[in-house]
Structure 1
Amino acid sequence: MRYWAAAKAAAGRHEETFTASTLSDLLEQVRQKYEGNAAMLAVLARSSFLVNATPVGVRPHHEVVLEPGWIVEVLPPFAGG
């Protein structure tokens, strides 16, 4: 998992490795790891995601299948226009 902007700041790292079969499973693992980190949980709740450079969009997270080695990027909302 690769973190950008506020997600990177909240996690205290740019990336880390998890093993999951769906985006929903992955996000649950991340939420468990950062359970006491309110900033990280808030960022996750409002972020969008890329899976192997493809936007997840409005697809249900339990339907987004992950393959070994794929990169999931956490993109918090960006300010500006």
Structure 2
Amino acid sequence: MMVADEGKGAGMPAGTIRYWAAAKAAAGRPEEPYTEATLAEALDAARRRHPGELVRVLKRCAFLVDGDPVGTRDHETVRLAEGGTVEVLPPFAGG
């Protein structure tokens, strides 16, 4: 028998969050899946999974969603796609 509430439900995107440099060290892994619909929701879920240093690191990060810079857009308005990728980029010394 299938449980209707398994996972996040039908129609929710599934993709990958990739952590770089200090974010990778703080998360303890190079990447992990997301199942949230917006960047804000995916980052909130990552903060819950990795409390502590990652929460602090994310405040300084830039984000790319499917290769496009998020910039100053409100993370609530940035929709995530099925099979998409979120790149978490802390500031890099030396550019």
TM-score relative to the length of structure 1 = 0.92
Distance 2:80 2:31 in 1: 17
Cα distance in 1 between the residues matched to 2:53 and 2:34: 20
Secondary structure of the structure 1 residue equivalent to 2:64: strand
CA–CA separation in structure 2 for the residues paired with 1:69 and 1:45: 25
**Amino acid aligned to 2:19:** Y
Runs of 5+ consecutive residues of structure 1 not aligned to the other structure: none
Q: Higher strand proportion, which one? A: 2
Which runs of at least 4 in structure 1 moved beyond 2 Å after TM superposition?
none
Query: Radius of gyration: which is bigger?
Result: 2
Q: What corresponds to 1:72 in structure 2?
A: 86
Residue 5 of structure 1 corresponds to which residue in structure 2?
21
Q: Number of aligned pairs?
A: 79
Deviations 1:46-79 (A, max 9, x none): 1010000100000000000111110000000111
Q: Which residues of 2 match residues 1-81 of structure 1 at below 5 A?
A: 1-35=17-51, 38-81=52-95
Structure 2 gaps, min length 5: 1-16
1:30 CA drift (Å): 0.6
Identity %: 54
- TM normalised by structure 2 equals 0.79
The Cα offsets for residues 16-67 of structure 1, whole Å up to 9 and x where unpaired, read as 00101000110110111112xx211111111010000100000000000111
User: In angstroms, what is the RMSD of aligned CA positions?
Assistant: 0.9
Higher helix share: 1
